[in-house]
C-alpha cells in the first residue's frame, strides 16, 4: 500500500501504534513520560540537571540514495548520527522526535521499515520516540532531534572548546570504513564477503559510541567531537573552538582493516577525510589517556597532539615528520 492510500492521519496512527508496541516500557525515559505521540507536544517529568539537545537532517540524494540505503538502515543511521552527537558530549540520550517527509507514492512498508530501524537502535539506548511530524515532499527527508542529559549531577560534558596544548589526541575504533562502504555500494565494487559485510555495516548501520562517551567524561576527558565530517575536518572544529593547533601522525591513524586491504593508497585518505565513521575524537593529558585506555571497552588510538601554534590548523605528518596534503579533507555542504 502507498502512503497516499493511508493518508496522513492513517500513517500517523499506524506509526504511533508501531512505536508504542516496540518501545521498552521499563526504560527510564518511558517511565518518566507523561504525554507521548498524538498531542501538540510531548511531555515528561525531568529531574534538575544539565539538558542536551541536538538535531540532524538526512536528505535524499544529498546524504543518502535510496538505491544504496534501504529503509531500515536509513532509519537506523539517522538516529545513530544524532545519538553520536549526544555521545560526543558524554551524555545520556533520552528522547527523540522525528520529522519525516516522503513522496505520496512511497510504500507504507518502507516507512514501517524506516521506523523499525530507528526503534531497534533506540531500544538499545533506552531512547523513547515521543513525537514528530509527517508530510509529503518530492524527495525523502528526515530530521531528528534528540534530547538527553549529562551523565551525572555535576553536569560535566565534553565540548569542542576544551582542548589544551600538550593534550594527546585519540580516536575510538577504526576509521574509513563508512566512506569505503559508500564507495563500494555506489560503484558496486566486489570485495571478499567479510570485508564487504564490514564496510556495508559501517556505512549503513554505524554504532554510536554512547557508553564510551559517558566513560570518557567520567574519567576526566573534557574535549571531544564525533567524526561525522571526517577526522581532519572534525579535529579542525576542535582546534577552532579551542583556539589551538593539532599535529597528527598519519601512520598512527587507525585505518579499518578492510579499507587497508582493498583501497591501497587511498586508504589513508578515506580514514582521514572520509566522514560518517561516528567514532569519537577526543583530547586529554597523557595521564588521563592512560586511564582511558585501561577502562574503555573499545580500541583507543593516540594519533597526535594538541599544540599552541597555528590555532585552528591541523597538520598531518608522515613518519619522517614531513607534511602530507590531503586533496579532500572533509565533507562540506554548498562547496563548489
Q: Which of 37, 101, 114, 178 binds a copy of itself (CB under 8 A)?
A: 101
Distance CA 70, CA 209 (A): 23
Per the document, the length of the chain is 336
Q: Which of 154, 161, 297, 311 binds a copy of itself (CB under 8 A)?
A: 161
Contact between 80 and a copy of itself by CB under 8 A: the answer reads no
Residue-wise burial string across 292-303, b where 16 or more C-beta atoms lie within 10 A, e elsewhere: beeebeeebbbb
Q: Which of 20, 68, 116, 159 binds a copy of itself (CB under 8 A)?
A: 159
Shortest Cβ 31–a copy of itself spacing (Å):
14
Give the binding range for a copy of itself (CB under 8 A) out of 49-57, 114-122, 165-173, 251-259: 49-57
Give the binding range for a copy of itself (CB under 8 A) out of 16-24, 56-64, 112-120, 187-195: 56-64
Touching a copy of itself, residues 302-321 (CB under 8 A): none
Residue of 251, 260, 252 lying closest to 177 (CA atoms): 260
Residue of 162, 146, 145, 156 lying closest to 49 (CA atoms): 156
Contact between 20 and a copy of itself by CB under 8 A: the answer reads no
Q: What are phi and psi of 100, to 5 degrees?
A: -120, 130
Q: Give the number of other Cβ atoms within 10 Å of residue 100's Cβ.
A: 24
Residue (12 or 189) nearer to a copy of itself, CB: 12
| Side-chain half-sphere CA neighbours of 137 within 13 A | 13
Contact between 45 and a copy of itself by CB under 8 A: the answer reads yes
Q: Count of residues binding a copy of itself (CB under 8 A)? A: 75
Residue (49 or 286) nearer to a copy of itself, CB: 49
Residue (184 or 224) nearer to a copy of itself, CB: 224
Please give the distance of CA 7 from its chain centroid, rounded to a whole number. Answer: 32
Amino acid at each position: 500500500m502507498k502512503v497516499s492510500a493511508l493518508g496522513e492521519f492513517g500513517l500517523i496512527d499506524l506509526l504511533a501504534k508501531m512505536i508504542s508496541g516496540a518501545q521498552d516500557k521499563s526504560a527510564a525515559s518511558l517511565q518518566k513520560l507523561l504525554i507521548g505521540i498524538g498531542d501538540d507536544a510531548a511531555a515528561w517529568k525531568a529531574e534538575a540537571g544539565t539538558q542536551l539537545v541536538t538535531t540532524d537532517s538526512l536528505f535524499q540524494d544529498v546524504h543518502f540514495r535510496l538505491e544504496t540505503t534501504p529503509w531500515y538502515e536509513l532509519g537506523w543511521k539517522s538516529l545513530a548520527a544524532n545519538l553520536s552527537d549526544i555521545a560526543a558530549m558524554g551524555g545520556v540520550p533520552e528522547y527523540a522526535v522525528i520529522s519525516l517527509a516522503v513522496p505520496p507514492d512511497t510504500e507504507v512498508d518502507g516507512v514501517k521499515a524506516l521506523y523499525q530501524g530507528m526503534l531497534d537502535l533506540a531500544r538499545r539506548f533506552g531512547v523513547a520516540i515521543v513525537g514528530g511530524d509527517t508530510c509529503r515532499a518530492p524527495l525523502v527527508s528526515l530530521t531528528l532531534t534528540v534530547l538527553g542529559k549529562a551523565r551525572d549531577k555535576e553536569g560535566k560534558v565534553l565540548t569542542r572548546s576544551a582542548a589544551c596544548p600538550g593534550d594527546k589526541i585519540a580516536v575510538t575504533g577504526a576509521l574509513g570504513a563508512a566512506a569505503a562502504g559508500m564507495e563500494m555500494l555506489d560503484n558496486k565494487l566486489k570485495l571478499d564477503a567479510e570485508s564487504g559485510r564490514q564496510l556495508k555495516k559501517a556505512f549503513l548501520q554505524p554504532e554510536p559510541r554512547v557508553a564510551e562517551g559517558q566513560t570518557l567524561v567520567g574519567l576526566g576527558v573534557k574535549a571531544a567531537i564525533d567524526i561525522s565530517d571526517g577526522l581532519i575536518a572534525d579535529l579542525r572544529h576542535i582546534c577552532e573552538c579551542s583556539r589551538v593547533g593539532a599535529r597528527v601522525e598519519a601512520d598512527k591513524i587507525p585505518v579499518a582493516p578492510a579499507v587497508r586491504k582493498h583501497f591501497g593508497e587511498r586508504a589513508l585518505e578515506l580514514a582521514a577525510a572520509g566522514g560518517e565513521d561516528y567514532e569519537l575524537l577526543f583530547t586529554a593529558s597523557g595521564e588521563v589517556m592512560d586511564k582511558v585506555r585501561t577502562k574503555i571497552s573499545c580500541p583507543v588510538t593516540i594519533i597526535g597532539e594538541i599544540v599552541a601554534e597555528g590555532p585552528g590548523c591541523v597538520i598531518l605528518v608522515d613518519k619522517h615528520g614531513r607534511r602530507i596534503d590531503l586533496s579532500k579533507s572533509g565533507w562540506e555542504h554548498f562547496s563548489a
